[in-house]
Amino acid sequence: MIKRAGDVLGALERALTVIAVVFMFVIMLLVVADVFMRYALNSPFSFTYDLIGLYLLAGVFFFTLSDALREHVHVGVDILLSRFSLTGRRLSEIVTALAGLFVFILICKVGFERALENYEQHDVLSGAIPWPTWISAALVPFGCGVLVLRLALQLVGNVLSLVSGRDLYPLPPVTGVGEARSFE
């Protein structure tokens, strides 16, 4: 059950990461085109800054949050972790998941309320193009919601592994002891 849930959630996370990569590519294209239009033709795009700042960058960030946790690429302080027993490492992961769940459930709740309020009030960005703000606000609870699912899976998997004594959910690699992957 844990493996199947992890596979399904992993597929969603990878799909969101692909979307984030497309967003990043669009950002690069827009910046290059805007610079060309600005300096070669003296006619920059009026929408580039708002589109990138309001939607695309938020999508890149929030769509990759959970996948980054799954791949263990967030910054982590594991200076003591190599000295812990397997039980200690599991307990550390459980405490971390509980703390993360508390914080990101609150962020989801507040983000959802804000996105809903922006939608109901037809809130738009003032400027040449009236961009609706609820879309970018909705990226917050969506991305954090996927992260909450990952943290919940991490919590349940580590608790079940601890209780059963079997390795039902993998522990993250510990850097400095030959387990972690390199960027190279």
Cβ(104)–Cβ(144) below 8 Å: yes
Q: What is the rounded CA–CA span in Å between residue 86 and residue 97?
A: 16
Note the pLDDT of residue 117.
98
What token pair was written down for 169? 């959910």
- pLDDT value for 83: 85
| pLDDT score at 22 | 98
Confidence (pTM): 0.88
In this predicted structure, what is the pLDDT of residue 74?
A: 81
**Mean per-residue pLDDT pooled into runs of 10, the chain (184 residues):** 92 98 98 96 91 96 95 80 88 95 98 98 90 96 98 96 91 66 52
177: left (phi over 0), alpha (psi -120 to 50) or beta: alpha
Q: What dihedral do alpha carbons 126, 29, 15, 179 form, nearest 10°?
A: -120
Question: pLDDT for 52-78, tens place per residue?
Answer: 999 999 999 999 999 999 998 887 777
Domain coordinates in residue numbering, the chain: 2-164
**Which pLDDT value is given to residue 174?**
78
pLDDT of residue 75: 78
Neighbours of 103 (CB within 10 A): 14
Run of H or E including 68: helix 57-70
What is the pLDDT, as a whole number, of residue 118?
97
Q: What is the pLDDT of residue 73?
A: 86
Question: Which pLDDT belongs to residue 63?
Answer: 97
For residue 124, list its beta bridge partners. Answer: 132
